[in-house]
Structure 1
Amino acid sequence: MSSQPNTESRRPSRIYLKVALVTETWPPEVNGVAHTLARLVEGMRGRGHHVQVLRPHQPGNPQVIVVDPAELDAPMDERALPGLPLPGYSGLRLGLPAGRRLKAWWTEDRPDAVYIATEGPLGHSALRVARRLGIPVASGFHTHFDGYARYYGVGWLTPLVRAVLRRFHNRCDVTLAPTQVLATHLAEYGFERVRVMARGVDTRRFSPARRSSRLHKQWRAGGAGPIVLYVGRLAPEKNLDLVVEAFRSLQDRLPDARLVLVGDGPSRVALQRAHPDLIFTGQQVGQALAQHYASADLFLFPSTSETFGNVVIEAMASGLPVLAFDTAAAHEHVLSGVSGARVPYTGDPNTDAAAFVTAAAELAQAPEAWDEMGRYARTRARGLDWVEVVAQFETVCMDILKEARDASPAMDG
C-alpha cells in the first residue's frame, strides 16, 4: 500500500458559492418576482452559499443590511442602491445605474456568479460590470415587458422592447425561464442559451387548513353562494374586465355568488366605481393572504401576460379549482375537468374572452364538483417543492462558474 496521505479525503465534499443577486424588486414589495427571489435566497443560504442582494433603496428600510454569519446557515448582505419610484406601480422602485459602486464592491470581494433578475438600468449596469470583470452571469426572464406594451396603448413598441430584452439576455451566459413553453418561445424570438428553472410553492403556508369560516361568512353577507377569488395586481395587463365578465356569467347560474379581488393597483378605483357589489380587500400578505385563498371556493385568473403566475399554484395549494388560460403555470399544472379548467389561448381577444366566459358558465353548472377538483389541485401543488427549484438554481450557478473557469484556466490560480 502507498504511504502517501489520502488528500482526496481532505477535500471538501461540496463547493460553496458567493452569488450576487441583482433585482429592482425585493420584499416587502409584493409581487411574484420579489417572492421568487426571496425563496431562492433563503434556499441558497440554507445550502451554505453566501448571497449578496443588490436592490434599489426602499423608503423606510436600511440602506445596507449585513447579517451576522454566526446567526445563519450562510452569510448574506443586502445593499441598497439609488432608485426612483416606478410610475404607475405604487411601492415599486426603478434602480439607477450603479456601475462604479458595483465595480468597487466586486473587485474587492469578487462573486463567483451574478444573477440578474430584472432588466432595468441597475440590471444593465450590473451586466456591464460583470462582463468587464469576467464574472459569469445568469439572468431571469421574470416579466413579459415586451407584451405589456399593448395593454398601455403602445403595442407598436413591442418589437423594440423585445429587441432590447433579447440583446440584454444574449449577453448573459444563461437565461432562466420558468416553463418549457416560454423557453421555446424565447428561442423562437432569437434568445440564446435559455434553460428552464421551475417555480415552487409553500404548501405549508398555502393550505386548505387556513380556511377562515369568519372570513367566508363575511364575504357571503348572508347569502348561500360560493366565493370566487382573484388575486393579483389590479392593472390593465391582468385582463381584469374578463375577470368580471366571467364572474357575471357564473353569477347568472349562481345568483348568490360573490367575487373577491385581492390586490391593488391603478385599475382599482375604476373597477370599484363600475362594480360596487364586488369585494375589494386590498393587498394581503403572509397568513392573511393564505386565509383569503383558503376561504374562497374557485379561483379565476384570465391574465395572459404572465411568464409563470405564482398565484395559480398558490390557489391550487390552498385547495381551489382554477380557471385560467392554457398558458404559463396553468399549462404546466392545471388539468381540465380534474383540478379546474384550462381555456385554449389563441391570441384573438374576442375569441379568447368568449371561451373563458363559456368555461366559467360551465363550471357554474356543477359547483358540487369544485371540492373534489380542489383536492386534486392541492395534490398536484404538493409536488412543487421549493427545495427542487433551489437545487436547479444552484446547478445553474455551478455550471456557469465551471464554464468560465474552463474557458480561463488562470482563474483557478
Structure 2
Amino acid sequence: MNTADADDILVDDLPAPRHSRRLAVVTETYLPEVNGVAMSMARVVDGLNRRNHDVQLIRPRQSAKLTVPSSGKPAVDEVLTKGLPVPLYPNLRMGVPSKRALVKLWSLKRPDVVHIATEGPLGWSALQAAQHLALPVTSDYRTNFHAYGKHYRLGLLSKPIMGYLRKFHNRCDATMVPTESLRTLLSERGFERLSVVGRGVDAQRFDPARRSEAMRQGWGAEPGDLVMGYVGRLAPEKNLGVLLAAYEAVKVAQPRVKLVFVGDGPMRAELVARAPEAVFVGQRSGDDLAAHYAGLDLFLFPSLTETFGNVTTEAMASGCAVVAFDSAAAGELIRSGVNGWLAGPGREADFVAAVRVAASDAAARLAVADAARMTARRLDWADITARFESVLEGAIVRGACADSANAKAFRRDSVPFNVTS
C-alpha cells in the first residue's frame, strides 16, 4: 500500500462535519428558576451548544434575587426582555409582547429556525415575528394549562385555552411533545405536525450513592424506618390530597413512617395543618436536591396535570421506588410491579392501595428501585438533544423546499414585459 492509498483511507474514515445552525430559542422560564421547563430547556440549550450550533437564548429578565452559579451560565448569546410576574406563580416571570423588537433583532441576525418553548406573551410575539420574516418555527407543548382550570376555578376557560394552544401550535412547522400518549391525545384534539421528543435525566447527579443517613436522621428517621416523599410544587393541581390519604393509610400499619415534602407553593400552610408531623424542607436544587431524593425509600407522585413530570425520572435515577398514576412519564416508563407501581388515572383508591403494597414489602421495594435506576440510566440527554436537533433540521429543510417551490412558481407565473421602441 502506498502513501496516497493510506491517505485516501484516512480521509474516508473521517465523519462528515456537523452542519452548524443559527438557532433562536425563546422561553419564558429558565435556570435558576426551579421548574421542569427551565431545567429541561437549559439541558437542551447546553446540548445544542455542545453540538456546535450558534444558540441565541431569548428570555425575560429574572428577579435580582435569583443568581446563577458561574458554572451554570449558558455559553450562548442571551437576549433579555422585560418581564412580569406569572399569575399563580409569583416567583416566575413571563415575557411581554415584543414582536417589533424580535423582528428588528432577527432582521439584523437572521436565525435558521426559531424554537418557542412556552406559549405566553413572549412566545406569541416570537411566533408572529418568525412568520413575518418567513422563518421556520418549532415549538414545545410543555404545560397542561387547560387541565389546571378545575383547580383554580377556571373551568369555563378550559376550552378557550385549548383553542388558543391549538391555534398557537398549528401555526408552527413542528410541535414537540414528550410522550406518545400526549401526542395521541393532542392529535385527537386537532393538533398537527406533532413529534415525540422525550426528556432525559442526569443519572450521575441523581444517584442512590448520595443517600445520607445523617440527613434521614435530621428528618427524624431511625435506621429501618420507612421514608416516603414528594418533590415538586405544593399546589392544588398536584393532587396532594391523595398523597396525604396514602400516608395516613400507611401510618396505621407503620406508625414511624416519615413523610418529606421537597418544594414550596400556595398549599404549604394547608399541608402543614393537615400533616403537622411531616417534614417540609422547601425548594432544593443541584446536588442538594439529589441527596434529598436519595434519602427517600418511596416516592409518591399523584399529579394528573403533567405533560411529562421530570421528578419521576429523577426519583427513578435516585433509586427510589415510585408510586404514580398511569400518566405522563410514569405511564411511559413504569411497568407496575417491575420498576414502580401505577394506579389507573384518577383511581385514588388504587393509588392508596399501591402505596400500601409498596410500603409493606421492603424486599419488593428494593428490587423495584434497582429496576427503576436501570430504566432511568437509559434516558441520556445526548440522545434527547439529537432527536430535538433532528426536528429543528426537518423544519429548516421543509422551509427551504417551500421557498424554492414558491420561487419557481413565481418565475413560472411571471409574464415578461414587451419592450418596444
TM-score by length of 1: 0.91
Q: Do the aligned residues in 2 keep the contact of 1:117 with 1:123 (CA within 8 Å)?
A: yes
Q: Do the aligned residues in 1 keep the contact of 2:226 with 2:359 (CA within 8 Å)?
A: no
Q: Do the aligned residues in 1 keep the contact of 2:215 with 2:295 (CA within 8 Å)?
A: yes
Change (3 A) 1:357 1:178: same
Change (3 A) 1:313 1:62: closer
Could you say what the CA RMSD is over the residues aligned between the two structures, in angstroms?
2.5
Q: Deviations over 1:18-62 (max 9, x none)?
A: 111111100110000000000000000000001111111112289
Q: SS of 2:135's equivalent?
A: coil
> Amino acid of the residue matched to residue 49 of structure 1?
H
Q: Do the aligned residues in 1 keep the contact of 2:33 with 2:66 (CA within 8 Å)?
A: no
Deviation at 1:275? 1.6
Give the whole-Å Cα distance in 1 for the aligned partners of 2:195 and 2:162: 18
> Match of 1:80?
80
Change (3 A) 1:204 1:62: closer
Give the whole-Å Cα distance in 2 for the aligned partners of 1:120 and 1:334: 32
> Match of 1:26?
30
Give the whole-Å Cα distance in 1 for the aligned partners of 2:204 and 2:15: 37
> Match of 2:180?
180
Give the whole-Å Cα distance in 1 for the aligned partners of 2:196 and 2:186: 11
Q: SS of 2:90's equivalent?
A: coil
Q: SS of 1:206's equivalent?
A: coil
Alignment of 1:211-222 (within 5 A): 211-222=211-222
> Amino acid of the residue matched to residue 23 of structure 1?
T
Give the whole-Å Cα distance in 2 for the aligned partners of 1:154 and 1:398: 38
> Match of 1:3?
none
| Alignment partner of 1:376 is 2:371 | yes
> Match of 1:55?
59
> Amino acid of the residue matched to residue 47 of structure 1?
R
> Match of 2:48?
44
Give the whole-Å Cα distance in 1 for the aligned partners of 2:270 and 2:337: 34
Q: Do the aligned residues in 2 keep the contact of 1:49 with 1:75 (CA within 8 Å)?
A: no
% of aligned pairs identical?
A: 46
Q: Deviations over 1:196-227 (max 9, x none)?
A: 00100000000001111110122134574211
> Amino acid of the residue matched to residue 159 of structure 1?
K
Give the whole-Å Cα distance in 2 for the aligned partners of 1:125 and 1:172: 13
Give the whole-Å Cα distance in 2 for the aligned partners of 1:321 and 1:224: 16
Give the whole-Å Cα distance in 1 for the aligned partners of 2:279 and 2:127: 43
Q: Which runs of 5+ in 2 are unaligned?
A: 1-7, 408-421
Alignment of 1:291-330 (within 5 A): 291-330=291-330
> Amino acid of the residue matched to residue 124 of structure 1?
W
Give the whole-Å Cα distance in 1 for the aligned partners of 2:305 and 2:202: 23
* Corresponding residue pairs, total: 395
Q: Which runs of 5+ in 1 are unaligned?
A: 1-5
Give the whole-Å Cα distance in 2 for the aligned partners of 1:159 and 1:401: 32
Q: Do the aligned residues in 1 keep the contact of 2:146 with 2:161 (CA within 8 Å)?
A: yes
Q: SS of 2:19's equivalent?
A: coil
Give the whole-Å Cα distance in 1 for the aligned partners of 2:209 and 2:93: 35
Stretch moving more, 151-160 or 402-411: 402-411
> Amino acid of the residue matched to residue 42 of structure 1?
D
> Match of 1:97?
97
Change (3 A) 1:397 1:61: farther
Q: Do the aligned residues in 1 keep the contact of 2:166 with 2:191 (CA within 8 Å)?
A: yes
Q: Do the aligned residues in 2 keep the contact of 1:115 with 1:137 (CA within 8 Å)?
A: yes
> Match of 1:354?
349
| Alignment partner of 1:334 is 2:334 | yes
> Match of 2:205?
205
Give the whole-Å Cα distance in 2 for the aligned partners of 1:393 and 1:195: 9
Give the whole-Å Cα distance in 2 for the aligned partners of 1:11 and 1:269: 58
Give the whole-Å Cα distance in 1 for the aligned partners of 2:254 and 2:291: 23
Change (3 A) 1:62 1:290: closer
Give the whole-Å Cα distance in 2 for the aligned partners of 1:341 and 1:115: 36
> Match of 2:410?
none
Q: Deviations over 1:319-343 (max 9, x none)?
A: 0110000011011111111112011
Q: SS of 1:92's equivalent?
A: strand
Deviation at 1:410? 8.8
Give the whole-Å Cα distance in 2 for the aligned partners of 1:168 and 1:357: 38
> Match of 2:361?
366
Give the whole-Å Cα distance in 1 for the aligned partners of 2:155 and 2:326: 23
Give the whole-Å Cα distance in 2 for the aligned partners of 1:317 and 1:29: 22
Deviation at 1:315? 0.3
Q: Do the aligned residues in 2 keep the contact of 1:112 with 1:136 (CA within 8 Å)?
A: yes
> Match of 1:241?
241
Q: SS of 1:408's equivalent?
A: helix
Give the whole-Å Cα distance in 1 for the aligned partners of 2:243 and 2:65: 35
Give the whole-Å Cα distance in 1 for the aligned partners of 2:161 and 2:66: 33
Specify the structure having the higher radius of gyration (Cα): 2
Q: Deviations over 1:62-96 (max 9, x none)?
A: 99x9x9xxx9xx96111110111113213200110
> Amino acid of the residue matched to residue 187 of structure 2?
A
Stretch moving more, 11-20 or 188-197: 11-20
> Amino acid of the residue matched to residue 321 of structure 1?
A
Deviation at 1:270? 1.6
Give the whole-Å Cα distance in 2 for the aligned partners of 1:178 and 1:260: 28
TM-score by length of 2: 0.89
Stretch moving more, 359-368 or 84-93: 359-368
Give the whole-Å Cα distance in 1 for the aligned partners of 2:43 and 2:400: 28
Give the whole-Å Cα distance in 2 for the aligned partners of 1:40 and 1:410: 32
